Structure 1
Amino acid sequence: MKVNWRGVLPAITTPFMEDGSIDYTFFAQHCQWMIEAGCVGLVPIGSLGESATLSFEEKRELLKVAVQAVGERVPVIPGIAALSTAEAVRLAQAAEEVGCSGLMVLPPYVYSTDWREMKAHVDAVIRATKLPVMLYNNPPAYKTDFLPEQIAELASEHANLEAVKESSSDVRRVTALRALLGDRLNILVGVDDCIVEGIQAGAVGWIAGLVNAFPVESVALFRMAQEVREGRGDRARLDALYAWFLPLLRLDTVTKFVQLIKLTQEMVGMGSARVRPPRLEVVGDELETARRIISHALEQRTQLPL
């Protein structure tokens, strides 16, 4: 299946049962809910999917369930991350075997070093399959920063490198990539609270987090931002929706973003706040603050200009 990078692609969460096992039934339902709301693809087993706490077998099963749940409607583009290059290559090949349509390739967990070694890692993963690839640049989380010039170098060497998920939180990176590459790569925003700014700078897609709880609102926000950039949208409506959404979107930008997004899912009735250790659910003042933000947004939800 050809990957459509232009739209909202959920970095989909991994649901857990009370005993810590994966709730595959709910995961399938959640995948379907996302695409019924207008999302153009799914990105499972990424950072928000708690990939680092999943076994290889669990990752493979999640990908099988996602592919079966969505059929030919949208592509499944899993996060490919591991401690070693060999494990990342194995996961990329498994993803292709179970029917995924693309890959989101990350630098290795834990080990971060110079461009020569990091390039060798992503080179190996990109070459492991024929699937379209999106490079994931998230220097705050992974301590590896793929600079625009380095991304351009990869793009010149790999025809199947089609996109980059830019999560540096610096929208100037979008501008720099477009200046170097034009339309050679699809640029997607990976930080929720700069999506409108990213689209204005030229990004064409959004790997979103809060979409797991607010898919309709996420798709509407993306569409409005695109329309405004193209000169045919209503800026006042976009500003009103963004102002409502921003306190929620900022939950995606902190260390406990997984816990907070899953809490939001639980409060809207679409999921559980359960996470896998070493993560723990938020408690005390942290929990009350998050609940106030989410509750206030829910109170205002019926007034949104969708």
Structure 2
Amino acid sequence: MTSVTTLRGILIALATPFSQDGAVDEARLRSHVSDLVDAGVHGIIPCGSTGEFINLTKDERKLVTEIVIDEVAGRIPVVPHTGALHAAEVIELSQHAKDKGAAAIMVIPPYFEPNTWAEVLAHFQRISDSVDLPIMYYHIPETTGLDLTIDQFRELAAIPNVTYMKESSGNLSFLVELLEDPEIDIKVFNGWDEVTLATYAIGAVGSVWGAANYFPALAVALYETAVVKNDIAAAREIWSTIWKLEQPVLSGGYVQNVKAALAAAGKPVGDPRPPALPATPGTVETLTAALAAAGLKG
């Protein structure tokens, strides 16, 4: 494997800005990425779930990746999500990410069709063989229907480039078992917002976090306090503030609510693409109040 920076900390699952006509808004994208870097985040993941990858064309995903890598300019790692329904497209997007300077790639397993475990394992082996970059396995059973066992993770972690995991099941018992297994050499990032602080306490190396688009500095402070300083008591105080900011987003419509929160914070990135609808007026009002109470309203 090529030499890369070890991933850790807060990796922002980047919201994709759109203009009024629905196109990728390069100016807003660059501005938002610059703000996140200035806030101290440890990495950026473009074209993930919060980035609406399912509603982006392949060329748009490449464009967003290129813009983000260019704007970051080597200051922090960029880890594009390259998962797709077609295996050839995954490899094409992954190779494109490598060619443009990505530090790693995140890949959701095949979804919609109920693939066998042998097929999933062969899929990741094929990606690893084709693109020499660290791979972050995106474990999100809620949307893929694929809830891996510890034995399956042992097999997955044996693939040379599969070195990271975004754990989005929210199952803390499973996470403890995974982190304590001596045969699984994989670094775990939390991807389920509600259990963020708890995952830090049991060994997660960071978070892939969509809601942190609108409170990046607080997210960094939580990580630095809980993981680097190991001060759980102080981290709980930060978490209490974050939890109040998170609750309106977690009420449903995660992507549109994150975008509404960014607008309320004075950093609008446009509406989500259809079929998603903008956040409801009630959610916007609640988000605005929460941001104002935290001193984050634009």
Q: Normalising by structure 1, what TM-score?
A: 0.90
Distance 2:248 2:209 in 1: 12
Query: Which structure 1 segments of 5+ residues have no match?
Result: none
Amino acid at match of 1:204: V
Q: Which residue of 2 aligns with 1:218?
A: 219
- Indicate yes or no: 2:198 matched with 1:205: no
Cα separation, 1, equivalents of 2:96 and 2:214: 29
**2:286 corresponding residue in structure 1:** 293
- Report the counterpart of residue 65 of structure 1 in structure 2: 67
Partners of 1:267 and 1:102 lie apart in 2 by 32
Task: Give the AA of the match of 1:100.
Answer: A
Q: Partners in 2 of 1:251 and 1:126 — Cα distance?
A: 39
Q: 1:137 to 1:254 in 2, by over 3 A?
A: farther
* Number of matched pairs: 294
**Pair 1:176 & 2:177 matched:** yes
Matches within 5 A, 1:49-198: 49-156=51-158, 158-181=159-182, 184-198=185-199
- Among 13, 16, 23, the residue aligned to 2:15: 13
What is the CA–CA distance in structure 2 between the aligned matches of 1:107 and 1:90, rounded to whole Å? 16
For residues 220-272 of structure 1, what are the alpha-carbon distances to aligned partners after superposition, in whole Å with 9 as ceiling and x for unaligned?
A: 112222256x3xx260x322221221133345546510000010001001123
What amino acid sits opposite 2:253 in the alignment? K
SS of equivalent to 1:198: helix
- Deviations 1:6-41, CA, capped at 9 Å, x for gaps: 100000010000000000121112112112111111
Q: Does 1:240 align with 2:209?
A: no
- Structure 2 stretches lacking a partner, 5+ long: none
| 1:99-151 deviation line (CA, Å, top 9, x unaligned) | 21110011124223321122222222222200111111000122112322212
Once superposed, what is the RMSD of the aligned Cα atoms? Answer: 2.0
- Kindly provide the amino acid, as one letter, of the partner of residue 193 in structure 2: D
For 1:176 and 1:142, the matched residues in 2 are separated by 21
Distance of 1:72 and 1:212 partners within structure 2: 20
1:271 matched residue in structure 2: 268
> What's the CA shift string for 1:67-125, capped at 9, x where partnerless?
11011111110112211112111111111122211100111242233211222222222
Task: Kindly indicate whether the alpha-carbon contact (under 8 Å) linking 1:191 and 1:252 is maintained by their aligned counterparts in 2.
Answer: no
Which deviates more, 123-132 or 17-26?
A: 123-132
CA contact (8 A) 2:66 2:100 kept: yes
**CA spacing shift, 1:88–1:96, aligned 2, 3 Å:** same
Q: Matched residue of 2:289: which SS?
A: helix
Contact residue 247 and residue 293 of structure 1 kept, 8 A: no
Shift of the 117–39 alpha-carbon distance from structure 1 to 2, 3 Å rule, reads same
